[in-house]
Chain A
């Protein structure tokens, strides 16, 4: 979802005195970072206020409900955070479709044949039978994260709004689907929660490669070392473009 035509290579100015050798690669724009932060905030509120209702008989369910300030407050928090997430989703699509000038088809998030090959190679790599795959701007895992979240957002927002206004919804759709949305909503929510807590956090927090965390979500930048390791193809492309432009003077190597 990057709008970069040519990949920006930024010299680290703030840390210039400390380490003149270090260069940073722009990974996410501030807009993208802010969207991710808003997502984290609303997602966490939704999980905390929603799971007590998914598992009403668990011992921790009333504990959380009471900590949130009672059942009515739990509902209000869930609705408010949910509407926040709907707005975020609408903003995301609107921004990246209408405002972002880069052609939709040129975006690097679309799944390609290479991702399928990388996926297979990853399994082989885990089994010790192949080299680690070389990724471009987005690895297949990151693409899956993105499209998984996209699918989940659509499912949860739609079913959530149906449950928020069941009788309005019933003017348009049959009762069967209002009923169904309660099942889809909780199932998808459980999937999203488990996926984020297990898989996403493994990739960006727990994995020894990045532990304690990859700071890209705070700064939007990747170090050269990270870049070479995690996105070697993008790194090569960036270097080729900067050399072509002839402004490699900006890189203090």
Chain B
């Protein structure tokens, strides 16, 4: 009996066959865990990295962190952490790593107010990883990505609704930006699952985020008509810069269907614009509130009276 026949007869026993197959699957799975070096110690990080778009494209730890690409199973990873290895890049060096490939994006980012703040030493100013994630960077189109279009409000609010983070460094940044965005139809539609609406990055730019006082900013008053009228948004409409200026982050917005009732609190420059001469719009709005209340109140009263009178007069005819 030759050897191959022996092996063949061995596999005739189905228990041995099943055992062999499950063992090979186990080895396959266990081996798959090993395809990223550093897994033995940095299990959590590597697990996150498996969701990373860069993992899908075949990048490894060393592509960002530097050092050796060689898999290392020893306790102290001398060879991995050799050379240009950077364990935890500081905030102002993260762009150096990303810019190795994403040159255009880094260039754009370096014109932003976030980069300015980092240059000035702000401890928390946003850099690549704050919006895109650190080890779980996903593709922009992935709905779970923090830099996905519809997740942009939540991602920006992480910092911009944080009072300590905003006020500790610079008092000019308002923390109600997400709350005031929630007053807009953009948010109301987004909240109801209609994603074809403007979120933060659509108006403020994703990488070239600048202060609205900067004349090159997309949210500079004079540039707003262009920003609102950009492709896929309000194309071809005749925007007045002043109109666009009031659209999103203010309670007196076209998009909120609510008048600010305390009209004395209103910005004096905008008051004329929103309320017209003699605060006419305000008084007309009041008139309609009163009209609705009185008409419904009065006629509901009539219906109730009618009903009560029938309790007395059982049959009127």
Q: Which residues of A contact B (CB under 8 A)?
A: 53, 56, 61-62, 65, 70-72, 122-123, 125-128, 132, 148, 166-167, 170-171, 174-180, 182-188, 190-191, 194-195, 198-199, 202, 207-209, 229
Contact = CB atoms under 8 A, between A and B. Distances in A.
B275 to A, nearest CB: 6
A126 B296 contact: no
A182 B247 CA distance: 14
Given A195-B299, A198-B299, A71 B305 contact: no
Given A176-B274, A183-B258, A72 B194 contact: yes
Contacts of B254: 166, 175, 178-179, 182
Main secondary structure of the interface of B (DSSP, over half): helix
Nearest to A166: B254
Interface of B: 188-189, 191-194, 196, 237-240, 242-243, 246, 252-254, 256-259, 273-276, 280-281, 284-285, 288-289, 291-292, 295-296, 299-300, 302-303, 305-306, 308-310, 312-313, 316-317
Main secondary structure of the interface of A (DSSP, over half): helix
B288 A184 contact: yes
Nearest to A230: B317
B161 to A, nearest CB: 19
Given A127-B305, A167-B238, A202-B303, A183 B288 contact: yes
Given A126-B305, A176-B275, A191-B291, A183 B194 contact: no
A142 to B, nearest CB: 13
Contacts of B240: 170, 175
B192 A62 contact: yes
B204 to A, nearest CB: 23
Most buried by A among B256, B257, B276: B257
A178 B289 CA distance: 17
A120 B105 CA distance: 75
Contact of B243 (A123, A175, A185, A229): A175
Contact of A187 (B252, B289, B299): B289
A198 B243 contact: no
Nearest to B298: A199
A191 B189 contact: no
Contacts of A180: 276, 281, 284-285
B281 A70 contact: no
Given A176-B281, A209-B316, 19 more contacts: A53-B188, A56-B192, A65-B192, A70-B194, A72-B196, A122-B302, A127-B305, A128-B313, A167-B238, A175-B254, A176-B275, A177-B276, A180-B276, A182-B254, A187-B285, A191-B295, A195-B295, A195-B299, A209-B317
A176 B310 CA distance: 48
Nearest to A62: B192
A174 B258 CA distance: 17
Nearest to A151: B291
A166 B246 CA distance: 14
B309 A179 contact: no
A198 B284 contact: no
A191 B292 contact: yes
A233 to B, nearest CB: 16
Contacts of B256: 182
Contact of B296 (A170, A198, A208): A198
A199 B302 CA distance: 8
A71 B252 contact: no
Contact of A198 (B252, B273, B300): B300
A87 B234 CA distance: 27
Contacts of B192: 56, 61-62, 65, 71
Contacts of B276: 174, 176-177, 180
B193 A71 contact: yes
Contacts of A171: 238
Given A183-B259, A195-B296, A71 B194 contact: yes
16 contacts: A56-B191, A62-B193, A71-B189, A126-B306, A132-B316, A166-B254, A170-B238, A176-B281, A177-B276, A182-B254, A183-B258, A183-B285, A184-B284, A188-B292, A199-B302, A202-B303
Given A195-B296, A198-B296, A199-B302, A179 B280 contact: no
A160 to B, nearest CB: 13
A71 B186 CA distance: 12
Contact of A128 (B253, B302, B312): B312
Given A187-B292, A195-B299, A208-B310, A175 B284 contact: no
Contacts of A170: 238, 240, 243
